[in-house]
């Protein structure tokens, strides 16, 4: 499954929610050296109940809006 996620960094808490058919992720990590992306993968793996290795950012690694590939068996 491919999903688009809007990421807000330096948030007050880590969470994922769905608004209007789009996922929004809030991460406390700063957008430097891939820290926010790592937290995003952990959050999405918990949200979709899959392993971290089953989530991959395929577009927007340095952007606020990311496209992620989620392997759900």
**Structural domain containing residue 25:** 2-70
Return d(Cα 48, Cα 31) in angstroms, integer. Answer: 23
User: What's this model's pTM, rounded to 2 decimal places?
Assistant: 0.93
- Per-residue pLDDT at 8: 96
Domain count, the chain: 1
> Read out DSSP for 3-43?
EEEEEE-S-SS-EEEEETTEEEEE-SS-SSTTHHHHHHHHH
**Token representation of residue 68:** 């992620």
- Per-residue pLDDT at 70: 97
34 burial class (0-12, 13-18, 19+ CB within 10 angstroms)? middle
Does the pLDDT of residue 73 top 80, yes or no?
no
**43 neighbors 16 (Cβ within 8 angstroms):** yes
pLDDT digits (tens, 9 = 90+) for 7-65: 999 999 999 999 988 899 999 999 999 999 999 999 999 999 999 999 999 999 999 99
Domain containing residue 27: CATH number:
3.30.1200.10
């Amino acid at each position: 499954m491919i999903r688009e996620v809007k990421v807000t960094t330096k948030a007050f808490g880590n969470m994922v929610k769905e608004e209007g058919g789009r996922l929004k992720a809030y991460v406390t990590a700063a957008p430097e050296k891939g820290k926010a992306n790592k937290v995003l993968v952990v959050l999405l793996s918990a949200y979709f109940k899959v392993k971290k290795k089953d989530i991959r950012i395929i577009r927007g690694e340095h952007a606020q809006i990311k496209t992620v590939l989620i392997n759900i068996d």
